[in-house]
Structure 1
Amino acid sequence: MTGTVHDFAIVGAGMAGASIAAELAAHARVCVLEAEDAPGYHSTGRSAAFWEECYGGPGVVPLTLPSGRFLRERGFLNGRGALYVGRGEDRATMDAFMRSFEGTGVTIERLGREGLEARVPHMRADWVDAIWEPACADIDVAGLHQHYLKKLRAAGVDLACRARVANLTREDGIWRIGCEDGREFLAANLVNAAGAWADTVAHMAGAQRLGIDPKRRTVAQLRVSPAAPDDLPLTLDINGGFYFKSDNGRLWLSPHDEVPSEPCDAAPEEMDVALAIDRFEKVTEWRIEAVEHRWAGLRSFAPDRLPVYGPDPLVPGFLWFAGQGGFGIQTAPAAARLGAQIMLGLKADAMTADIDASAYSPERFHAGENARTG
């Protein structure tokens, strides 16, 4: 076996792959294999990302809060605020939402119709309940991604684009990674940061698929009358039926859809755009003048909707960094730091000290096998 043997080969150069590579590169020899012409073509490049404390649920909060401090200190956040809205019949759902975040460190406040109207104009009269999250902010996704790409390049990481993995074999503790174009890479450890393709990569490596399923999310940019105010908060249906936010006088609207999909170059479906518009018109009195742009991306979830970080318990040298759903960008700093500490056997630092790494371990999906073989 000849050629450079890296300590870690990472499959995928989106936000997940770039961030974990940058963290690992301070301690190890790393290469990153990206299937597309450039990093971030899929989910990272199509994100309408926001840092939102409640997004992903209480189990994701330990990753979100320290990531927020990192993002804010480095200028990647632009304040907006978020408002969860509901009708009178949604009161019990709103109450349960408030209770679910008690003791998590999240800052949320219950508002009534008056507080809702002060923040979001043109809401129809039956929307009377709201939960305000003041810390929500837009994320400079491109800037954050470039931050990690610059950091990994400065550390000497080998970043190979158009390097779609075709086959994986392991011999004498070394992964041989063959690409479709004939290139080959060698590494002691293989990190699966392939997003929607995570289970595909796992299967190629001889690991068990964990059920990390891609879901399509659609967003449309609308021109509305009157124009959307720049200070409009991110506005979300408490029941998950829609969200919208302003962008330079336009509105970005999503039906908050999670349509099962094969791993692919996702494209918006007219039906999903129509569904978003129908829901929006039942919520607000804004007049839609045009749908100016539409796009879709894939978000990939593990069965329990928590991310998966760490070594596969059944396949030596195979490491997971996947299943990060729609919260992968907002949690990237803490997730990458934690992932690198797990993979390198390092102790927690100030960013990760309050995170229970076991909650995100792939071992949770193998409890039955471990019990039978233990």
Structure 2
Amino acid sequence: MTHADVIVIGGGIAGVSAAAMLAEHMSVLLLEAEPRTGYHSTGRSAAIFIRNYGNATLRALNAASAPVLENPDGVADSSLLSPRGELMLAEEDEVDTLDAYVADAVGMDMLTPEQAVELVPILRPERIASAAIEWDAQDIDVDRMLSGYQRLLSTRGGRIVTGAPVTALLRLGGVWQVSAGGAEYAAPIVVNAAGAWAGQIGQMAGALPIAIQPMRRSAAILPAPGGHDLRRWPLFGSITERWYAKPEAGKLMVSPADEDPVEPHDAWPDDMVLAEGLHRFEQAVTMPVTRVEHSWAGLRSFAPDRTPLAGFDPQAEGFFWLAGQGGYGVQTAPALSRLTAALIVGLSPEVAPEVIAMLDPARFATG
């Protein structure tokens, strides 16, 4: 039996960053089912920081994460962000949605169709009824971020065990006994950062039956459109998420922005869903889609109200939920990891009490 003060289940960016923050105060053991950390959603992220992305709670987390991403002391020696921008486009039936989004946003400018085409020359101006840009949206160096938190965890004495899927959780004498990968582990506190598998881990622990729903999202890499330099193009896409595209290493990553409910698994794209999304993209631009160089899919896992969970379960003592980050996991990880450490160690949280209340899993305790 290997003992620690806290066991973190899940080696995505949420689990690794939380473990690194906790390791400053207590002994930490992280269990990851796959052969390496960041295998699922973290390694398949669109890797962009969008301040206006998500509901009010998520935007508060975005704001709290921004200073850490810009100055990642202890995680990296320079900013994890680089300029990109996000251009949101609306056809006639999407104008009201774009107007509502901009009304609740900060740092966004409305653009004419012609201005949008100046930024992304392959757009069809006749398909643009309205457009807006968030200039401050930025790329995130996810690989450097994950490896930086992992290095910090190791420096602080934390340990990562890979190839260790959790098969049983049992609370005995105020201590969680965890069976994983054929070995036994014990700690008074367990942090459930298992991503798409968080609901299953909660069920094993006898915690609240919170339905964490994984949603598949697909993407494809297309050759760069001929005669264009993509380096300064923003991410661009439909405000109602019919599709979006982003420059990626000199090529173009396009997603149908699908959100299909699936069981937790090692995700792969549905060919029909991907083809339909690429067709929607093709209708909005002047470039034909003639070849897909590579395609993949990841899982974005949501709580029923689409707001993350961060807090102790009200019925399973010592069981901490850090789950349901949806498509916001990478950009909210700095804030949620610090909040997790604060709530577990007993420090003063850096986010407002009303934000903490909205993240509390106890909100699902009645009904």
Give the shorter-chain TM-score range.
Answer: over 0.9
Please report the TM-score for the alignment, with normalisation by the length of structure 1: 0.93
Native 8 Å contact 1:228 1:246 kept in 2 = no
Letter in structure 1 aligned against 2:208: Q
Q: Name the CA shift for 1:261/1:353 in 2 (closer, same or farther; >3 Å).
A: same
| 1:201 alignment counterpart | 201
Native 8 Å contact 1:116 1:129 kept in 2 = no
Structure 2 gap ranges (5+): 73-78
| 1:246 alignment counterpart | 247
| 1:172 alignment counterpart | 173
Letter in structure 2 aligned against 1:201: I
| 1:139 alignment counterpart | 140
The correspondence of residues 258-277 of structure 1 with structure 2, limited to 5 A, is 258-277=259-278
Q: Name the CA shift for 1:308/1:267 in 2 (closer, same or farther; >3 Å).
A: same
Letter in structure 2 aligned against 1:5: H
Q: Output the CA distance in 2 between the equivalents of 1:115 and 1:23.
A: 44
Q: Paired residue for 1:90, among 89, 94, 100?
A: 94
Q: Which moved more, 1:158-167 or 1:109-118?
A: 109-118
Q: Output the CA distance in 1 between the equivalents of 2:40 and 2:354.
A: 28
1:326-352 superposed Cα distances (whole Å, 9 cap, x missing partner): 100011111110111112221124xx3
1:45-70 superposed Cα distances (whole Å, 9 cap, x missing partner): 11121001122233311111221221
1:175-220 superposed Cα distances (whole Å, 9 cap, x missing partner): 11112x4210000011100000000001111112211100000000
Shift of 1:76: 0.6
The correspondence of residues 150-165 of structure 1 with structure 2, limited to 5 A, is 150-165=151-166
RMSD: 1.5
Structure 1 gap ranges (5+): 369-374
Please report the TM-score for the alignment, with normalisation by the length of structure 2: 0.94
Native 8 Å contact 1:5 1:188 kept in 2 = no
Q: Which moved more, 1:116-125 or 1:289-298?
A: 116-125
| 1:129 alignment counterpart | 130
Q: Output the CA distance in 2 between the equivalents of 1:275 and 1:335.
A: 35
Shift of 1:4: 4.4
Shift of 1:224: 4.1
Native 8 Å contact 1:224 1:290 kept in 2 = no
Native 8 Å contact 1:58 1:100 kept in 2 = no
1:126-178 superposed Cα distances (whole Å, 9 cap, x missing partner): 21311110011111001000111001011111211111111111110011111
1:74-119 superposed Cα distances (whole Å, 9 cap, x missing partner): 4111110001101234322222112233xxxx31111121221221
Q: Which moved more, 1:57-66 or 1:319-328?
A: 57-66
Q: Output the CA distance in 1 between the equivalents of 2:291 and 2:171.
A: 54
| 2:190 alignment counterpart | 190
Q: Output the CA distance in 1 between the equivalents of 2:207 and 2:90.
A: 43
| 1:359 alignment counterpart | 358
1:307-363 superposed Cα distances (whole Å, 9 cap, x missing partner): 0001000111111000001100011111110111112221124xx358721110001
Q: Name the CA shift for 1:76/1:281 in 2 (closer, same or farther; >3 Å).
A: same
| 1:79 alignment counterpart | 83
- Name the SS for the 1:65 alignment partner: helix
| 1:61 alignment counterpart | 59
Provide the aligned length of Structure 1 versus Structure 2. 359
- Structure 1 position 344 matched with structure 2 position 342: no
Native 8 Å contact 1:241 1:256 kept in 2 = yes
The correspondence of residues 205-220 of structure 1 with structure 2, limited to 5 A, is 205-220=205-220
| 2:14 alignment counterpart | 16
